Structure 1
Amino acid sequence: MRKTTIFTGLLFAVISTTVAFSTRTNKSASSPVTSAPTRSKRCPRACQCTPSTMTVECAYQNLYRVPYGIPKWTRTLILTGNRISVLPNKTFRRLVHLEDLEVDGNEIETISDRVIRKLRKLRKLNLSSNKLESISPASLNKLGQLETLLVNNNKLGKLSISTFSGLQRVTEIDLSNNLLQTLEVEMFENLHELKEVYFHGNRWHCDCQLKNVELSLRNRNIRTGYMVCDSPSALTKHHLRDVASSSVCGPDSQRLISILLGVFSGLVTVLFAIFMCRRRTAKGIEASETAASDKAAVAESEVHADDTFSRCSIISEESNRSDLFVAADLLGSPIEIRADVLKPSPAFEDSDDSSSESDLESVSSRPPPYEHDLKTSTDDAMKEK
């Protein structure tokens, strides 16, 4: 009895183990195979990735280049305090969601036009404490969402007038501790959201142009900090805010500029009036000459028409006379040419009387044509009778 119970227990255990193993096998066969995580989902070895905040931090790792394999979902990338000197064109091409890029404290000397221009969602760009000597406008003009630009503690010596032209939403620009000497008013005119610009720690040459920049920013209530003059020697270590406009722009410079502008505009107006007057006069003379030539042409055509009509009238009269003589020849009897037949046409009644009378006398005194033939034909007729 006891042996039977032990055997039954062992059999039950074997059956249970077999069923459990088969169940696990079926589950594993029916469930899909999970693939290994791709490189884009892994964090670079020298970085710390925080998916909850979408932040990748690779600070102070003695890196010479940007690590490969930064996740595509990254919105904040921190590369502070490394030895990165070059940013290749395709460094950030996959990070289309990047909003905050911290590359401060490195050894970057130049930035290519194509490195960051495709980061259309970028809101903050920190390039401070590098070795930048210039910034190309093409590298920034596509960053329409940028709000903060930090390029302090570099070696910037000159900025183009269009360096910040594409930053329509920027509120803060830090240009402190560089090698800048002058600026232009137009550099900040289109930055309507600008609230702060930091200029301290540069080699400012305090002249009328730089003073106008300071006045323009002050009138717009933009915080600029302080700008200490490095030149000319008379203004060294003076704050540009405390320098009077008359000392750098001349006592009456604004008045002189206004007078020159007024004179120039008046001169332009006078020259334009003279030009229009001459143009109208030339048109009037041309119109008068055209009208005179038209009148002369009309008069000439009338004279030509009268002459033609006179000639046609004379030809018509001569043809009438010839027709009379021919008719007499056909009738076989002489006819008498009367002076009233040769009366001139009404078109010639107002012409010279002496010429008309002389023409009539010459015509009437002319022996009629065919007279000899008419007499001969008459004599022959009488003989036959």
Structure 2
Amino acid sequence: MRITPSAGHLSGVSPDRNRWGLHYVALLCLLSSPVRTDDACPSSCSCARDSGTVTCLPGGGQTDLPADIPRWTSTLILKGRNISTLPQGAFTVNGTELEMVTLSLSYNGIQIIEPYAFLGLHRLHLLDLSHNQLEIISSRAFHGLSELRSLFLNYSFSPGATGQLSGALSAQSLRNLHRLELAGNKLKFIPIKRLDIYNLHALVLINNSIENLGRENISSFYQQRRIRVYLALNPFRCNCELEVFYYWLKNSSQCQDAERVICSEPEARRGIPVAKLRGEDVDCMNENLEAVSYVFLGIVLALIGVVFLMVLYLNRGGIKRWLNNIREACRDQMEVYHYRYEQDSDPRLANVAV
């Protein structure tokens, strides 16, 4: 059997030294290559590595989501970038999940949030989507945010999209939500089907179009005593239908801005704080009794009128004779006055009289 000598033996260099030399050359090539690392700051953004904050403002022609967010990012602030759509997995980088805790997306003109848009952000605690123009929001938009504590959706929805909000907020993944802000969305009702599936401590509903809170909502508030509600700048209709809400506002401290909950209708009560109304102002029983009393008075008056007409009808003969007698008496009296007038006006009769 013939043995062929190796390259190491021919060159007089041992195989171990040759192997180490190859490793050294490969390491030098890797370090000198211009490949971008995951720690680099995205273009048109400013980064603070110590605090883990990446801030991306308008500029440099960047109007979309940055595709190279550093893995060390704990706080990402995007503002004024004209992001029309948040697609599925919008914040995953090369399939890698980020350890992000705070995400602010206010003032970006967002119109559509697709299903699983925040996929992979398992540690996200605060999400701010305020001051956008949402027209479509998927019922699975917030899926995967199991650690989310604060969700800000102030002034975010177009009128046609508020109906989709209930579906999006019904996600079981929001069960740890502590604070929900929905100010300025022209809501006419609370878009939460069940308050007991959340861990809500603060619910902000100021500056909407809420006229009343129904019995079911008030019952939920009584059961979830930890919730603090903010309801100022809503056009409450202060009639007897507000009774349940009125007594909850008077007897509970859950509404943090009760003194700013003002009546909008009717005109006589406009500008009056709901908590300062009298009990009879919203007492449906008294209002119903008052309505019944007016109806009863009307019926009594109608009966009196009918009786009076019947009396007149039954005595029509006597009334006719009485009217004829009065007419004859008036005629005789007028004839006497007429005769005296003729005597006083005739001078010949006057001379005879003298």
| Interval containing the TM-score (normalised by the shorter chain) | 0.5 to 0.7
Correspondence for 2:208 = 178
Retained in 2: the 8 A contact 1:176–1:198? yes
Retained in 2: the 8 A contact 1:164–1:188? no
Retained in 1: the 8 A contact 2:106–2:132? yes
CA separation in 2, counterparts of 1:69 and 1:171?
28
The Cα offsets for residues 156-208 of structure 1, whole Å up to 9 and x where unpaired, read as 12335x53424531111111111122211322534525342111112211233
SS at match of 1:216: helix
Retained in 2: the 8 A contact 1:183–1:213? yes
Correspondence for 1:381 = none
Which is richer in strand?
A: 2
Correspondence for 1:65 = 85
Q: Percent identity?
A: 23
Q: Which of the residues 102, 114, 121 maps onto 2:140?
A: 114
Correspondence for 2:177 = 146
Deviation at 1:47, TM superposition (A): 5.3
The Cα offsets for residues 309-340 of structure 1, whole Å up to 9 and x where unpaired, read as xxxxxxxxxxxxxxxxxxxxxxxxxxxxxxxx
Retained in 2: the 8 A contact 1:140–1:166? no
CA separation in 2, counterparts of 1:117 and 1:88?
11
Deviation at 1:97, TM superposition (A): 2.2
Residues 1:127 and 1:222: Cα distance change in structure 2 (over 3 Å): same
Deviation at 1:147, TM superposition (A): 0.6
TM-score by length of 2: 0.56
Deviation at 1:251, TM superposition (A): 6.3
CA separation in 2, counterparts of 1:152 and 1:238?
22
CA separation in 2, counterparts of 1:227 and 1:110?
31
Correspondence for 2:229 = 197
Correspondence for 2:76 = 56
Residues 1:210 and 1:251: Cα distance change in structure 2 (over 3 Å): closer
CA separation in 2, counterparts of 1:32 and 1:190?
66
Q: Which has the larger Rg?
A: 1
Deviation at 1:115, TM superposition (A): 0.5
Asked which structure has the greater RCO (Cα within 8 Å, sep 6+), the reply is 2
Q: Which of the residues 96, 100, 124 maps onto 1:74?
A: 100
Structure 2: give runs of 5+ residues left out of the alignment.
1-18, 53-70, 290-354
Residues 1:242 and 1:96: Cα distance change in structure 2 (over 3 Å): same
Which is richer in helix?
A: 1
Matching of residue 223 in structure 1 with residue 220 in structure 2: no
Matching of residue 236 in structure 1 with residue 276 in structure 2: no
Retained in 2: the 8 A contact 1:168–1:190? no
Correspondence for 1:155 = 186
Matches within 5 A, 1:121-132: 121-132=147-158
Correspondence for 1:212 = 244
Deviation at 1:246, TM superposition (A): 0.9
149-158 vs 193-202, which deviates more? 193-202
Q: Which amino acid aligns with 1:200?
A: A
Residues 1:166 and 1:153: Cα distance change in structure 2 (over 3 Å): same
Residues 1:43 and 1:194: Cα distance change in structure 2 (over 3 Å): farther
Deviation at 1:137, TM superposition (A): 3.3
CA separation in 2, counterparts of 1:25 and 1:218?
82
Retained in 1: the 8 A contact 2:210–2:234? yes
Retained in 1: the 8 A contact 2:207–2:231? yes
TM-score by length of 1: 0.52
Count, aligned residues: 235
Residues 1:89 and 1:187: Cα distance change in structure 2 (over 3 Å): same
Correspondence for 2:121 = 95
Structure 1: give runs of 5+ residues left out of the alignment.
1-21, 256-385
Retained in 2: the 8 A contact 1:203–1:229? yes
Deviation at 1:132, TM superposition (A): 4.5
CA separation in 1, counterparts of 2:40 and 2:242?
51
Retained in 1: the 8 A contact 2:242–2:282? no
CA separation in 2, counterparts of 1:241 and 1:184?
17
